Amino acid sequence: MRLKMCSIHVKDPASAHQFYTETLGFETLMVMPEYNLYIVKDPGSNGGNSGSVGLLLEPSDNPIGANYMNGLHDAGMPAIVFGVPDVRAEYKRLTALGVIFQAEPTEDPTGISAVLDDGCGNFVQLHQD
């Protein structure tokens, strides 16, 4: 058994797809605009049976999903955590692209992390691998 797909509720899946691919650097796994279906994957992964996990950019048109997304955002809590080799380098790269962070990277007993606003309704934590 393996993790095949997870999801994150977003306000607009098409806009989220653009941000997650063009800004964060994920690759498209599947796009079906007629169904409002957008799935991204880790850059460089082959998908299929390679162990790559898809991230469904799920529409928040369901009240339960919208309440969950908005509740996390209002509380300032990340909806998901992405691993990166160098949080400080990603912070610098992404702030240069206009991405808003809650604060500069911090270090604690769990490692180095920073939290960004994806502009799609979520805070996303970057954690150093």
Q: What is the pLDDT of residues 6-40, one digit of tens each?
A: 999 999 999 999 999 999 999 999 999 999 999 99
**Contact between 69 and 56 (Cβ < 8 Å):** no
Q: Is the pTM of this model over 0.85?
A: yes
Query: Are the C-beta atoms of 115 and 78 separated by less than 8 Å?
Result: yes
Helices (H), the chain: 13-18, 63-75, 87-96
The length of the chain, given as a count of residues: 129
Dihedral sign for Cα 107, 110, 115, 118, please: positive
- Who wins on pLDDT, 91 or 44? 91
Confidence class of residue 68 from pLDDT cuts 50, 70 and 90? very high
